[in-house]
Structure 1
């Protein structure tokens, strides 16, 4: 029986980051992983491969729509779908091998196989049982479906199947207008598919700032994506090579049908805890099937911790990473810190969409007095030069103290720009602090400064 200080179940962003930090802090560490490669959903069938396809399809869009405007003449490139998938697989391979290298570098043992917890302090992998002072569950999540919708990963697919379709479909119906649905819908729309998004609610990207939702949907419509809002999907009839999506409109209960070559079910994700033995172990769960934890990420069973998608909170890789590092610090006798009020969210369409902190709707519900500083990318010289003038930066600040409460960006590199505001919020900065900080010209980041200026005496270029 092998003995460790820490055994982590799952090698996704939460698990592998936690393992590396544990090892760096002097703890003898092992990770249980049943896949053939490390990195979990994110690196294998999630964040990384989807970004590869988003990048490739955006390059195609630029060649088709903007190259000629810049004096780059010639025949538009054709799509070699097999080569694009090979490029995506190569990106996955580079990243997963990178994690394997980091495990070896930090002397972390990879216990290959699927793990279960027969009792606190022990993990069973295959026929072997391993002992540890602390166990950390970082088992991640899996795609959730709807009643009446059966996934076959061929015609009716989750994001996993959407990353390896044998060909680009002529028509695609996406069920769900959240992050995954809009990103993958964007990929196939750029590649020539006729994409229709069916959403139960009346707005896309649930939980985001209302102004962002409206503007983002307008931009996606201009890109050719169709939307059916307020629609409750009743069933999906999968035939050999096609599918029929049956739905009812909530406003009048009328029944409708859509035909598609491929149906992407993007209705969210749920914790993946099957086979861990949590029931017999006595681990408390929430009503939504998440693992309950205390302020130090410990479950109801002493010595057993949980992080990432398996517990409450946004299902984001970087949230899992933060929790992984924090738990490692706790186990090493240090203070583990995660500021849940400053966790950014990003949608990697074009333009990108990013947010952090409060929305206007939240602040109104709280009855908090606030002010809005907003700046359009059409006033940003770099954005105009790069055909990226759609969108805006919006900063929300306390009306009395000017402290930044939240920010919302639609525009070029929004996923990178948001971090300037994250750092400012982490330090409790005022909008004026951003406004008085010199920003290089010409950069997209000047739009952030202009939005901060708009919280005070006004922006310069608007």
Structure 2
């Protein structure tokens, strides 16, 4: 048994960042993790491995479609799926070992095993009970399942199984047109699979800017991904090495069955709090299975806190990281703040899609007057040179004050371009502030400046 100032349950982005910040601020810290490696879902079976496959498959796409036009002649590369999986595994190992190094550097104890909380101030790992002044739950989330559909991780897979298929399927049916489904669908479409996305709603990427949704679907369709929208999946039947997906049209109630080699169930994620003993402790939970917390991430049980996917809010690694730092700084007597109006979201397809803040739809619902400045990457010299001219940058600003309220980018490096707008929003900047800031030429970032200019007298290259 050991005594700590803080024990963090879970070593994902929220947990490990929280632990490091606690240690930096002088708190004796331990982390409970049952996996053989640190990093949680994100580093092991989520963000990092999926980005490795997205990168590799994009390189294949470039070789097949753009190399010849640039004067790079030769036979198109073939896909060695086993080697690509090995590259993905090496990427995971490099990152998880990096977290292990950071734990040693910051003198954080790794309590190996699955944890539970038998009482406030106590964490049980295996047969040992450790005491701690503060317990922070950063247990993350797991894929949501559809009722009546069994995920066997062979024919019917979730996001974890989709990362390690034994071979590239001829036909992949993706249930759900959200971030995970479209990213993994893009991977397999580039690798030669026929990909069909079945979505309950009438739009893809629910909650995003409507213009981005339409443009994104059009570009993905051009890349060979087909979409069936407004379709309620009724069931998945597995026979041998094949599956049949049955859905009903929400328009006319007609029923359709499609064949697939692999079915990816990508219908979102849910908080993972199993085995922690929260019910016995009397920790308040929401109807959606989230841990209820106050503005300081404290639960209703003294000394127990929660962050990340286990609580309310978008299930994003960087949101969990910010909360992890905030709760650590609060325990150390500081006064942290997380600005939930400036939490970016990114889809790592090609082109990338990135957004922050308000959408046109949300502003109209609020009855708030705004102006939209938009600039197409077709007017950006760097994008045209790099065969990356699809998409646009849109900046939304208050009609009276010109203060930036949101931004939406679909195009090359959208996830990176978004962050100068995030910084501007954090400082309460106006669109004119961005418009008057010199941007290097030729860069993709000039499109951001042009969109800011379009909020005023007009873009130069439009």
TM norm. shorter chain > 0.5: yes
SS at match of 1:89: helix
1:121 equivalenced with 2:121 (yes/no): yes
Partner of 1:71: 71
1:422-461 alignment, distance < 5 Å: 422-461=422-461
Partner of 2:305: 305
CA distance in 1, matches of 2:239, 2:386: 44
CA distance in 2, matches of 1:122, 1:336: 26
Partner of 1:326: 326
Cα deviation for residue 148 of structure 1 reads: 1.7
1:40-439 alignment, distance < 5 Å: 40-439=40-439
Q: After superposition, what is the alpha-carbon deviation per residue over 1:72-118, rounded to whole angstroms, capped at 9, x for unaligned?
A: 00000000000000000000000000000000000000000000000
Cα deviation for residue 450 of structure 1 reads: 0.0
Q: After superposition, what is the alpha-carbon deviation per residue over 1:267-295, rounded to whole angstroms, capped at 9, x for unaligned?
A: 00000000000000100000100000000
TM, length-normalised to structure 1: 1.00
Where in structure 1 do 4 or more consecutive aligned residues deviate above 6 Å? Answer: none
Q: After superposition, what is the alpha-carbon deviation per residue over 1:161-184, rounded to whole angstroms, capped at 9, x for unaligned?
A: 000000000000000000000000
CA distance in 2, matches of 1:217, 1:193: 18
What is the Cα-based RMSD across aligned positions, in Å?
0.3
CA distance in 1, matches of 2:355, 2:230: 24
SS at match of 1:401: coil
Cα deviation for residue 239 of structure 1 reads: 2.0
Contact 1:197 1:227 (C-alpha < 8 Å) held by counterparts: yes
SS at match of 1:354: strand
CA distance in 2, matches of 1:215, 1:64: 23
CA distance in 2, matches of 1:225, 1:389: 20
Cα deviation for residue 379 of structure 1 reads: 0.1
Contact 1:147 1:234 (C-alpha < 8 Å) held by counterparts: no
Cα deviation for residue 337 of structure 1 reads: 1.2
CA distance in 1, matches of 2:430, 2:254: 50
Would you say how many aligned residue pairs link Structure 1 and Structure 2? 462
Cα deviation for residue 240 of structure 1 reads: 2.2
CA distance in 2, matches of 1:304, 1:334: 18
Q: After superposition, what is the alpha-carbon deviation per residue over 1:314-357, rounded to whole angstroms, capped at 9, x for unaligned?
A: 00000000000000000001012100000000000000000000
1:8 equivalenced with 2:8 (yes/no): yes
CA distance in 1, matches of 2:239, 2:367: 52
CA distance in 2, matches of 1:206, 1:120: 39
CA distance in 2, matches of 1:336, 1:124: 30
Q: After superposition, what is the alpha-carbon deviation per residue over 1:368-387, rounded to whole angstroms, capped at 9, x for unaligned?
A: 00000000000000000000
CA distance in 1, matches of 2:2, 2:243: 50
Cα deviation for residue 230 of structure 1 reads: 0.1
Q: After superposition, what is the alpha-carbon deviation per residue over 1:225-265, rounded to whole angstroms, capped at 9, x for unaligned?
A: 00000000010001221110010000000000110000000
SS at match of 1:330: helix
CA distance in 2, matches of 1:36, 1:347: 28
SS at match of 2:167: coil
SS at match of 2:152: coil
Q: What are structure 2's unaligned runs of at least 5 residues? A: none
TM, length-normalised to structure 2: 1.00
Q: After superposition, what is the alpha-carbon deviation per residue over 1:20-49, rounded to whole angstroms, capped at 9, x for unaligned?
A: 000000000000000000000000000000
CA distance in 1, matches of 2:177, 2:240: 26
CA distance in 1, matches of 2:71, 2:219: 26
CA distance in 1, matches of 2:258, 2:143: 22
SS at match of 2:99: helix
Cα deviation for residue 159 of structure 1 reads: 0.6
CA distance in 2, matches of 1:239, 1:108: 49
Cα deviation for residue 455 of structure 1 reads: 0.2
